[in-house]
């Protein structure tokens, strides 16, 4: 069997796709990359929440799978929306790389004042840590963000550590601890999406890591309960059944948080409901702030 594997054209997306293709090749499966431009790649001048959220990196690839143009697509799993088109299946979840954020900087950490990120979660968590920080919007691929850092537009920028590892980028800075800077749900995880075709599902099952799948599934059901979209500052992280989830105010001054062991997906879902009830005012504030901005 020869597979057409869809991917975005960014260096990180291509690196992730090469990881998948190399594993397929080791299994004796022939595969080729098919690059597809998504709205998220084409529109880089505005924050994600203004162009439809993380799903803008996925829709074109979904359509290509459903039309038969490609057999599957490789994604950063955090980009995959909670609600999926009929006929698609998350065929494999690879073993998770570090889920943490990384603060890359060009000066001593004590001298950092201006930090670049367009993530409402990262912005709120950074301001909670230090309300005096200046947080400025930053979009673009990893190379673009690092170039802007090196050009002096920012003292530091926040990147996903897993992306730096996959691109073999070594840059000064420090890991932000996951218990204090709770990552986005599913951060650090590569997923393969395909049609719900038994032959494809059998192939990709060999690449699946059950422990990672269980943890990220717990994160996703909490995310589904919280709703809020990418404009609500929220972090959700589960490791070996230990769940940390939080919702923050836009300015990071207030937080609702849970930290608990979840023995099942239903238990995680219930914890999501509990947090949603506690954080309903923060989520409503985020929606109101979005309406003002747009």
Mean pLDDT for the chain overall: 91
Hey, what CATH topology would domain 1-94+189-208 get? D-Maltodextrin-Binding Protein; domain 2 (3.40.190)
121 is catalytic: yes
Q: Which of 8, 33, 96, 122 is catalytic?
A: 122
Q: What is the pLDDT of residue 100?
A: 98
pLDDT band at 84, cuts 50/70/90?
confident
User: Active-site residue among 145, 195, 213, 276?
Assistant: 145
Determine which helix (DSSP H) or strand (DSSP E) holds 173, and give its type and residue range: strand 173-176
Smallest CA-to-CA distance from 89 within 209, 194, 7, 190 is with: 194
Same fold: 1-94+189-208 with 101-176: yes
Annotated domain spans of the chain? 1-94+189-208, 101-176, 209-294
Tell me which CATH code domain 101-176 carries. Answer: 3.40.190.10
* Residue 4 a catalytic site member: no
- In the DSSP assignment, the letter for residue 264 is S
Q: What is the mean pLDDT of residues 107-122?
A: 93
pTM of the model: 0.88
Record the tokens describing residue 94, joined without a space: 């690879």
Instruction: Determine whether 148 is an active site residue.
Output: no
Specify the range with the lowest mean pLDDT, choosing from 45-54, 146-155, 250-259: 45-54
Active-site entry in 8, 71, 72, 78: 78
Record: fold of 209-294: Double Stranded RNA Binding Domain (3.30.160)
Catalytic residue chosen out of the listed positions 8, 33, 121, 220: 121
Q: How far apart are CA 222 and CA 270, in angstroms?
A: 8
Percent of the chain at pLDDT exceeding 70: 91
User: Is residue 239 flagged as an active site residue?
Assistant: no
136 has catalytic annotation:
no
Burial (Cβ within 10 Å: 0-12, 13-18, ≥19) of residue 176: buried
∠ CA 47-33-30, rounded to 5°: 150
Annotated catalytic, 79?
A: yes
Q: What tokens does 97 get?
A: 């790389």
Per-residue pLDDT, averaged over 55-64, amounts to 84
DSSP run (H or E) holding 216: helix 210-226
What pLDDT was estimated at residue 164?
Answer: 96
DSSP code of 55?
A: G
DSSP states of 92-143 as a string? EEPPP----EEEEESS-GGG--EEE---HHHHHHHHHH-TT-EEE---S-HH
Respond yes or no: is residue 84 known to be catalytic. Answer: no
Query: Residue 39: is it exposed, middle or buried by C-beta count within 10 angstroms (0-12/13-18/19+)?
Result: middle
Helix or strand run (H / E) with residue 265: helix 265-293
Query: Within 10 Å of residue 106's Cβ, how many Cβ atoms?
Result: 18
Set 215, 230, 238, 276: catalytic member: 230
Give phi and psi for 235, each to the nearest 5.
Answer: -125, 140
Q: Which of 139, 148, 257, 269 is catalytic?
A: 139
């Amino acid at each position: 069997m020869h597979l057409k594997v869809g991917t975005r054209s960014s260096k990180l997306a291509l690196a992730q796709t090469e990881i998948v293709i190399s594993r397929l090749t080791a299994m004796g499966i022939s595969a080729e990359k098919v690059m597809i431009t998504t709205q998220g790649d084409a529109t880089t001048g505005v924050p994600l929440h203004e162009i439809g959220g993380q799903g803008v990196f996925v829709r074109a690839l979904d359509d290509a799978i459903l039309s038969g143009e490609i057999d599957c697509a490789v994604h950063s799993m955090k980009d995959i929306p909670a609600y999926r088109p009929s006929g698609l299946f998350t065929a494999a979840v690879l073993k998770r790389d570090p889920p943490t954020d990384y603060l890359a900087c060009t000066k001593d950490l004590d001298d950092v004042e201006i930090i670049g990120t367009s993530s409402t979660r990262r912005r709120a968590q950074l301001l909670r840590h230090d309300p005096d920080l200046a947080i400025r919007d930053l979009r673009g691929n990893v190379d673009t963000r690092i170039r802007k850092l090196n050009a002096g537009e920012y003292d530091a920028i926040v990147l996903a550590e897993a992306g730096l590892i996959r691109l073999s980028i070594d840059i000064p800075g420090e890991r932000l601890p996951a218990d204090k800077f709770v990552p986005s749900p599913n951060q650090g995880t590569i997923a393969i999406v395909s049609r719900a075709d038994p032959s494809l599902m059998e192939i990709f099952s060999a690449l699946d890591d059950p422990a990672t799948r269980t943890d990220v599934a717990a994160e996703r059901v909490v995310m589904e309960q919280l709703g809020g979209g990418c404009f609500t500052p929220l972090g959700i992280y589960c490791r070996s059944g230990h769940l940390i989830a939080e919702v923050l105010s836009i300015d990071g001054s207030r937080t609702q948080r849970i930290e608990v062991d979840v023995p099942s997906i239903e238990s995680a879902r219930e914890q999501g409901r509990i947090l949603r009830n506690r954080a309903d005012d923060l989520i409503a504030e985020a929606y109101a702030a979005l309406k003002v901005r747009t």
